[in-house]
Amino acid sequence: MEVQMKKKRGLRFYLSIYKKILIQDLKSKMSYRADFVISTFGMVLTNISGFITFMILFHNFPSVNGWDYHHMLFLYGFSLIALTPVQCFFDNNWNLRFMVRSGDFIKYCFRPINVFFYFISEVFDVKGLGQFAFGLGTFIYAWNKIGIPVTVVNIAEAVLFLLTASLFMIALMNLAAATCFWIINSGYVMVIMFRFKDFAKYPASIFSGVFRFIFTFLIPIAFVAYYPSLVFVTPDHVPLLSWLSPFIGIAFFYVSYKFWMLGVRRYDFTGS
């Protein structure tokens, strides 16, 4: 009996629960139409202003370290798409520290489902969709301008490497958020980690050796766009790290998940 019950809660179970929560959540968000419109509008504005800054910068420096304008644009679009999942699906990480402090976090521990899933599934941030549309537009435009052939293999690779890239950002934010189980002012860790994402849209080759090492191996922000996009930008010499990035990404995500769950176990739920 017990074994059967456990089997039923597999991937399909979690996907169906997630879908149901998502639909309900969207329904209730739509009912706050003004809030919905304003936040989407705000996100579009944020992206436009970011994009204008980017344009001004790179019209003045037409080539950075061998990367021309359209390559930079490709990287920019790539990073925007790769940053969408963390924004849309994992936004509740930002609330983790408040819930842990107040003790409200305990409610996630009473259900017969994975605590990380239950916590993360609670929030879907629609604002990320604006960013996604914007990123996708930029990405397709740059893809055309560079003249990357539209083949099944290329598209499959694009999807694979975009997913990989987003795993890195998700893992980074998981790690940053989970520090709240150990330290009180973990908000800073999250903010700093989130700021690092701005480095993702520049080619890591512009950074000096020390920083490149840091952004590759310590805070692997270079994997959020640079390494995966090399597969398309310089198809003739793709570094080994790029090809390995899907495996590193999965491993990194797994480590971040384990760290998060370790925090849950370790946390002593003091206070009533």
Partner 1 sequence: MANEAVVMKNVSKQFKVLNRHEGLKGSIQDLFSRDYKIVNAVSDVSLTVEKGEIIGYLGPNGAGKSTTIKMMTGVLEPSSGEILVDGRVPYKDRTANSEHIGVVFGQRSQLWWNLPLIESFNLLRDIYLVPEKDYQDMLSLYRSLVDIEPILHKPVRQMSLGQRTLSDILAAFLHNPGIVFLDEPTIGLDVSMKARIRELIKGLNEVKQTTVILTTHDMGDVDALCRRIIIIDEGRKIYDNDIEHLKNYFGSYRTLRMRLGDDSWVEQVIDEKKTDVMHAIKEMQKEHKVKDIQLQEISTEEVIRKIYEGSESA
Q: Which residues bind partner 1 (CB under 8 A)?
A: 2, 5-6, 8-9, 16-17, 20-21, 24-25, 28-29, 103-104, 106-107, 109-113, 122, 268-272
Tell me how far, at minimum, the Cβ of 106 lies from partner 1, in Å.
6
Amino acid symbol at 77: G
Identify which of residues 10 and 147 has a Cβ nearer to partner 1 in the complex: 10
**Minimum distance of partner 1 from residue 118's CB (angstroms):** 9
Task: Give the residue with the Cβ less far from partner 1, 105 or 202.
Answer: 105
Nearest-angstrom CA–CA distance, 182 and 24: 34
Q: How far is CA 161 from the centre of its chain?
A: 13
In the complex, least distance from residue 30 CB atom to partner 1, rounded to whole angstroms: 11
Angle between helices 152-178 and 186-196 (to 10 degrees): 160
Would you say 105 or 207 has its CB closer to partner 1? 105
- For partner 1, the closer of residues 38 and 155 by Cβ is 38
Our CB check for partner 1 shows the closer of 109 and 155 to be 109
Compute the distance between CA of residue 14 and CA of residue 12 in angstroms, rounded to an integer: 5
Closest contact distance (angstroms) between CB of 44 and partner 1 is 24
Instruction: Tell me whether residue 93 or residue 242 sits nearer to partner 1 (CB atom).
Output: 93
- Shortest gap between Cβ of 100 and partner 1 (angstroms)? 13
CB of 110 to partner 1, least distance (A): 5
* Least distance CB 27 / partner 1 (angstroms): 9
- Tell me the C-alpha distance between 93 and 115, whole Å: 13
Smaller CB distance to partner 1: residue 25 or 68? 25
